Amino acid sequence: MNQFILRIKGLFGIFRSNSFAWGKPRRAQIVIYPQGKSSDILLRYLDPAEVVVIDPWSTKLNVPALILTLMRGGRKRFDYLQATIALIKPKFVITTTDNDMLFYRLKESLPNSITIAIQNGLRGNYSSIPNGGFFDEVQRRPQLCADYIVAFGTEIAKVYEQHIDAKVFVGGSLRNNAFISDSSIKPSNKSIIYVSQLPSAPALPNDVIAYLQDQPITYSEFYAAEKIVVDILHNYCIANNLEFTICGKQSSQCEIEQEFFGEVATSGRNSPLDSYSTLDAAHIVVTLDSTLGYEFHARGKRVLFIGGRFMHHQNESVRHMASVTFGFPAKLPQEGPYWLSDLSEGKIIERLNFLSQATDSEVRALNNEFKDRFMTFDPDNVRLIQFFSSIGMPVRVLP
C-alpha cells in the first residue's frame, strides 16, 4: 500500500496536472501524438473514425490511463504514454515529433502495432540541454527502432537508416506538401522576404537557451545574426527600391518579433499555413537555417541561405557548427551561387544580385541539382497517402 501511495505521489510530482479527462480513450486503428506538430494535416488524409489524437505531454491527464500506469508500476510520462496506447489498442502509432527519442522505445512494447515517425523540422545538433543534440543522441543510444520513418530528403534519410532500425520513406514536409499555391497570384519581382525564427517566449540577452554539447549559447548569441541579416536586407531593399518584409514566426498579437526587428514590417502567423502564403508571394526568400527555406527551395523558389548564425559566438566549435550550414548533413562547399557560411554583407549582396537577375530556368536548374536530397516535394502528399494505403492504413481519399 505504501509503495502504491509513493507511486501516486511520484507520478503527480512529474505530471503537475491541471485537469483530468475521466472517460476511457476510444478504440481506434490509428493513434497520433502529440496534438499539433502537423497532426492536423494528417487528419485531412486519414479516416477520422479510425483516428485518435492524444497529447501525453500535456497537463491534462486521462484518469483510466493514469490508473493503468499505476497498476503497472509506472511513474514516468513514458509509462503513461504506453498505458494510453494500450487502452486504445491501435494498429498504427504515429508521432509527428521524429526527434522524440522515447518514441523509438515504443516498438518493443507494441509488437503488433506499426510505429511511424514523421519528420517535422530540420535536425541540428544543438539542444535545450547539455549534450542533448539529435545527432549525438542517435549515435549514443543503442537499439532505437520503429517500423517506418517519413523523412524530408535523402540526406537525413541516410542518418536515420544508419542509427535507427527502421525503413525510411522520403516524403518531404507534410505541411509544405499540403499547401497548394494560388496560381492566380504571381510573385512580385520587387519583393524580398526574410524568414524569422524568433521564439514566442521572451528572454534576457544573457539567458542560456541552447547548448552545443556542453557549450552554452545565450539568447543574444542565438538570435544576433537575425538582426544583422535583416539590417543588411533592409538597406539593400531601400537602395534598390524593393519591398522588404519579415515573415513572422509568431502571431500578429505577439509583439516580441516587431520589437526585435524594429521598423521593418513583420507579418504574423495566425494560422498554420500563413507563413506559406506569405513566402509564396515573394520573389526572393532569405533564411538562416529555417525549415521553410528548404521547403520553398524544394518548390523551385529563389532562396538565399546564410549559414552564419553563430559567427559571433566566443567558442570556435559553436561558431563553425556544421548543422547550421547549407545542406547539412550533406557535406557541401561552404559557398555557392545562393548560399554562404558567414554574415559578410558583400557576399550577401552579391548573391541577392544574382538571384534577382537569374532567369526562372536558371534558378530551377540550380535547385534541381539538389532535388530530393534536402527536401522532396510531394504536392498534396499524394505519394505519402499511397504509402499509407499500401501498409493497410485507412485513408480518407486514395489519390
C-beta contacts of 287-293 below 8 A and 24+ residues apart: 287/194, 287/195, 288/195, 288/197, 288/225, 288/226, 288/229, 288/324, 289/122, 289/124, 289/197, 289/324, 290/122, 290/195, 290/197, 291/121, 291/122, 291/173, 292/195, 292/247, 293/195
Query: Is the pLDDT at 6 greater than 60, yes or no?
Result: no
**19 beta partners:** 60
- Please give the pLDDT value at position 145: 95
Query: Is the pLDDT at 338 greater than 90, yes or no?
Result: yes
- Please give the pLDDT value at position 59: 77
How much is the average pLDDT of 300-311? 94
Higher pLDDT, 184 or 277: 277
Query: Is the pLDDT at 322 greater than 50, yes or no?
Result: yes
How much is the average pLDDT of 164-189? 89
How much is the average pLDDT of 236-245? 95
Residue type present at position 286: V
Percent of the chain topping pLDDT 70 = 94
- Please give the pLDDT value at position 3: 55
Q: Are 279 and 292 in contact (CB under 8 A)?
A: yes
- Please give the pLDDT value at position 257: 84
Task: Mean pLDDT check: name the lowest of 19-23, 94-98, 129-133.
Answer: 19-23
Tens-digit pLDDT profile for residues 188-220: 778 999 999 998 887 899 999 999 999 999 999
Strand 284-287 relative to strand 191-195, pairing: parallel
- Please give the pLDDT value at position 398: 56
Tens-digit pLDDT profile for residues 249-300: 887 777 788 888 888 888 878 787 889 999 999 999 999 999 999 999 999 9
How much is the average pLDDT of 355-384? 95
- Please give the pLDDT value at position 168: 98
Strand 145-151 relative to strand 243-247, pairing: unpaired
Who's near 1: CB < 8 A, 6+ residues apart? none
pLDDT band at 379 (very low <50, low <70, confident <90, very high): very high
Query: Is the pLDDT at 5 greater than 50, yes or no?
Result: no
pLDDT band at 182 (very low <50, low <70, confident <90, very high): confident
Query: Is the pLDDT at 20 greater than 90, yes or no?
Result: no
How much is the average pLDDT of 312-318? 91
pLDDT band at 57 (very low <50, low <70, confident <90, very high): confident
Residue whose C-alpha is closest to residue 257's, from 206, 198, 338, 310: 198
Query: Is the pLDDT at 181 greater than 90, yes or no?
Result: no
How much is the average pLDDT of 336-350? 96
Q: Are 46 and 25 in contact (CB under 8 A)?
A: no
